[in-house]
Amino acid sequence: MIRGVSGGEKKRTSIAEAFIATTPIQAWDNTTRGLDSLTALKVVTTLKRSAVTRGTCVMVSLYQASPAIYDQCDKVSLLYEGRQITQVNMVKQGFESKAPCSLEDFVGVWLKSAEREALIEKIEGYNSEHPIGQDTMHRYHSG
């Protein structure tokens, strides 16, 4: 034990040592234990930035995560008594509420879409070239 070194300093040193070892998959078990909330957020933010930069997968187990820490996550898996009870894909900034979630949402988006307008124009163009009616039906059946 080194005299004069706090528990937080020891923890940060251990984190730095593990962080330096570049591996494709990293597992961090309760890394933020004993750290204040700001330092815990900085650790998770650094892990996220490293994963994006290096193209690695980082898995972190946390016992008490702040909303700011959740914002750094791509997926969150909630465990209870050692079992996974839910998994959530986190919504990225700029994509909030962009995708329709219900049938009503989908219908509303479709009705306002440019793709629907283009499809209607094609259908109307086809129908004007190939009208369906009594005269057309007689022409095909009598020929």
Q: What is the pLDDT of residues 6-59, one digit of tens each?
A: 877 777 777 777 777 778 888 888 888 888 889 889 989 988 998 898 888 989
State which amino acid sits at residue 13: T
How far apart (Å, rounded) are the C-alpha atoms in residues 90 and 74?
5
pLDDT score recorded for residue 88: 78
pLDDT score recorded for residue 87: 79
Distances (CA, A) of 77 to 35, 43, 84, 111, 130: 22, 19, 7, 36, 56
How far apart (Å, rounded) are the C-alpha atoms in residues 33 and 14?
12
How far apart (Å, rounded) are the C-alpha atoms in residues 143 and 79?
72
pLDDT score recorded for residue 5: 75
Instruction: Go through the domains of the chain in sequence order and give each one's CATH number.
Output: 7-89 (3.40.50.300), 103-142 (no CATH)
Q: Are 134 and 140 in contact (CB under 8 A)?
A: no
How far apart (Å, rounded) are the C-alpha atoms in residues 143 and 140?
6
Query: Which regions of 40-123 does DSSP assign to beta strands (E)?
Result: 57-61, 75-80, 83-89
Token pair in block for residue 4: 């004069």
Name the residue with tokens 């700001």: 38
How far apart (Å, rounded) are the C-alpha atoms in residues 94 and 30?
30
Render pLDDT for 72-113 as a digit per residue (tens, 0 to 9).
888 888 888 888 888 777 766 665 656 666 778 878 888 998
Query: Which of 10-14, 61-65, 131-135 has the highest mean predicted lDDT (pLDDT)?
Result: 61-65
Q: Is 10 helix (H, G, I), strand (E, B) or coil?
A: helix
How far apart (Å, rounded) are the C-alpha atoms in residues 14 and 28?
11
